[in-house]
Structure 1
Amino acid sequence: MQARNPANIKIIDVSHHNGVIDWKKVAADGVKGVFIKATEGVGYTDPKFKANVQGAIAAGLKVGFYHYCRPETGNTSVKEAESFLAAVAGLAATLPYVLDVEGEASKVEINKLIDWCYSWLETVEKRSGHRVMVYTRASFAKTNLGAKLAKWPLWVAHYGVNQPMANPTWQRWSVFQYTSTGKVNGITGDVDMNEMDLGYWMELTGNAQNNPKPVDKPVNKQADEKTNEALKVLQSEQVIQSPTYWVENAFEGGTVRGDYAALLIQNMAKKLTTGTVPETPKPEQPKPKPEPEKPVKQPKTWAEIEKLTQAASVHVDVGGGGTGILLKGGLLLTAKHVSKGRESIRFKTNSRHWYTAVLVSEHLGVGKDAVDLALYRVENAPANLPYLPVNTEPLITGQKLLTVQAEYTEWITRSGQLCQISTVKEPWEFDCSIPAQHGNSGGAAVNEYGEVLGVIVNLASVGIQRGSVRESVPGCEAVNLMHPAVVEWLKKYM
């Protein structure tokens, strides 16, 4: 998935939850378009739908309408499509009609959910002749939606990141909802903020006839082989999104229509201005002076380390709960099985303050095997939020480690030593003799310098050497933050 781009178009989405909106102020604040909630399930129309449509259009904004689906209730896709089409009948929209699929829809078996969404999109597209698209959260797209839906554009939500999480169905997004706590003049309180890909915006607004022909009518336009090859190159360079769209709409008598030629020039200019420029050879510079040697790290007292670790360890309030560790930059690291793939989580600090964190990334794993790590970013993180640094030195067998289990009401300290750095089966993990409990999951294994070496993910019996005798003791397994696959993952976000 591509990252955000300053050239993209500022878009918001609203419902009755946003109250009475001063649309003239919204337009004056740089907003160019708005997706407005129309319907939900069967028979429910947002009470401010038509007022929002009329106000937005009067202020000069481009509008699109969305439907929040409820397949988990047993509604058929056709009934929900008909309910939506009845609500939007007679209203002009430049932006697409949108199927909003998220939340409780995950209760539907995946293949049935994909078929349900496909049917709704097909029904609405064919009966209206209007563009349609899919809205969902990044993690939902990754785990609940499939390739059958790839023919329609994606509007993806992933908060607190510059680039949304990848998924196997869509390579690019057309609209990116990057926060739910945006501020816009004319709207009291928070509002969802989005940006629309500039190329997609131009396809929608570049000419008066911005809707595609109804999909059930045959399209007879064809381009010659050289034109098709050229369009494929433009698509690969991200200058256009759809060669088919250009063939169907832009070509008349073998030449490109004037308005589309202007659009193509704009897109090419954007591509060229954001591309890389070859570096000019620089004259040979004098050799730099050798850097001074780094000061040798000094270990802290274990009493100090315990205090620091308790301050930076948090209780993750998901399911049965677990622990997480705060890192520099308002980041929260925990185990995937603790956060359970949630887009956002609530957590409690040792100082008894509650915060919300949004998902940045889950580790994709090594080969076919999972690496049990999830990284979140704290919303509105205070400047004085405590954190621990991440270790950068190789691990040493036998070194003492400390961890803190963050329960809802108490923070429990446990200690042990590193027993085995890796195994053939799971080279990204190490064993230690910390007698962890289930609540330690997601917590940090901390060294004598107060640095995070790993994240505890599993209880285990481990071997420890006592003199000449090796015995098995209660311990745990932790993800090694120094493993190359983990280091590269963390570097992207820290």
Structure 2
Amino acid sequence: MAPHTRLRTLITRLGAVTITLAIAQVPVAEALPEGSADHYAGSQIAKHEGRDRTARQRPRTAGSVPGMDVSSHQGDVDWAKAWADGARFAYVKATEGTGYRNPNFTQQYNGSYHVGMIRGAYHFALPDRSAGATQADFFASNGGGWSRDGKTLPGAVDLEYNPYGDTCYGLDQAAMGAWVRAFSDRLVQRTGRHPTIYTSTSWWNRCVGEADRFGDTSPLWVAHYADVLGPLPHGWDYETIWQWRAAGLFPGDQNLFNGNDDQLHRVALG
């Protein structure tokens, strides 16, 4: 099945939900526990899996849309320049665990919207700190909402290597799958949308494996820093977004949406 056909299938499945939530909650900066830091999407993947520094800026084609993701590491972003350089969508870090809120979230999330981008928020998960539902609540209350305005992507959960210890946070595959399911179910309750799942193939196959099939409901945002994407995590037949480079023409990391502008808009509409 062609990527655009599979994408329409996912959109149809999500399209039955009716949403009445506000566009965004505005978080206030809050420190992580002592010894913690603000981790951005892919920070631990690059550390453990490396990155291909020979990868170049990929040209825009009829089958993909360029985008970006940012966190507090980028500070206030020049969104007009990012738009002029070609970025058409963005994911913005909102929260981490249950103790961190991106102090630059308002400028980044609202700024990308006002320049014309389709944007969404993401949460850096710490599955050994608290329950999946608890972290989903924290995320939904601090930037992870969704509105059927055609400009807001479903909230994303960033699942990658543990910054503080055991790769899989001390959880076996069944327990990790249950954690992700609890996060997903609560975010559906709070926002009406299943989360986009951000991960790498290596981490997911090791820590979640085939414990559950999230590809039936959640778009895949996969990180792999090379010119060729390679195998996908268990449970997905195609990627919705590929994070292919950590920095470059746009501030933050660089991504490609697997489809055209109209399909990106339909994902936002749900």
Q: Same fold (TM over 0.5)?
A: yes
Distance 1:91 1:163, change over 3 A: closer
* Residue of structure 2 in register with 1:181 after alignment: 247
Shift of 1:165: 2.6
Greater RCO (Cα-Cα under 8 Å, separation 6 or more): 2
* Residue of structure 2 in register with 1:205 after alignment: 265
The structure with the largest helix share of the pair is 2
Q: Deviations over 1:117-140 (max 9, x none)?
A: 011011102221135210001211
Equivalent pairs, count: 202
Distance 1:166 1:52, change over 3 A: closer
Q: What is the aligned-residue RMSD (CA, Å)?
A: 2.4
Q: Deviations over 1:234-290 (max 9, x none)?
A: xxxxxxxxxxxxxxxxxxxxxxxxxxxxxxxxxxxxxxxxxxxxxxxxxxxxxxxxx
Distance 1:168 1:204, change over 3 A: same
Q: Does 1:121 align with 2:184?
A: yes
SS at 1:88 equivalent: coil
Q: Does 1:149 align with 2:214?
A: yes
8 Å CA contact 1:158, 1:165 repeated in 2: no
8 Å CA contact 1:142, 1:166 repeated in 2: no
TM-score, length of structure 1 as denominator length: 0.38
* Residue of structure 2 in register with 1:6 after alignment: 61
Please list, as runs of the form range in 1=range in 2, the aligned pairs for 1:186-265 lying within 5 A after superposition: 187=251, 191-198=252-259, 202-206=262-266, 210-211=269-270
Partners of 1:89 and 1:40 in 2: how far apart?
Answer: 11
Distance 1:22 1:156, change over 3 A: same
* Residue of structure 1 in register with 2:229 after alignment: 163
8 Å CA contact 1:118, 1:148 repeated in 2: no
Structure whose CA Rg is larger = 1
Shift of 1:53: 1.1
8 Å CA contact 1:94, 1:204 repeated in 2: no
Shift of 1:91: 6.9
SS at 2:204 equivalent: helix
Please list, as runs of the form range in 1=range in 2, the aligned pairs for 1:40-439 lying within 5 A after superposition: 40-73=96-129, 75-88=130-143, 92=147, 94-104=152-162, 106-107=168-169, 108-145=171-208, 146=210, 147-151=212-216, 152-184=218-250, 187=251, 191-198=252-259, 202-206=262-266, 210-211=269-270
8 Å CA contact 2:132, 2:183 repeated in 1: yes
Shift of 1:51: 1.4
Distance 1:131 1:204, change over 3 A: farther
Query: Structure 2: where are the runs of 5+ without partners?
Result: 4-57
8 Å CA contact 1:141, 1:169 repeated in 2: no
Distance 1:66 1:89, change over 3 A: closer
Partners of 1:130 and 1:167 in 2: how far apart?
Answer: 21
Partners of 1:164 and 1:156 in 2: how far apart?
Answer: 10
Query: Structure 1: where are the runs of 5+ without partners?
Result: 212-494
The structure with the largest strand share of the pair is 1
Identity across the alignment (%):
27
Partners of 1:119 and 1:166 in 2: how far apart?
Answer: 23
The amino acid that maps onto 2:88 is K
Shift of 1:23: 0.6
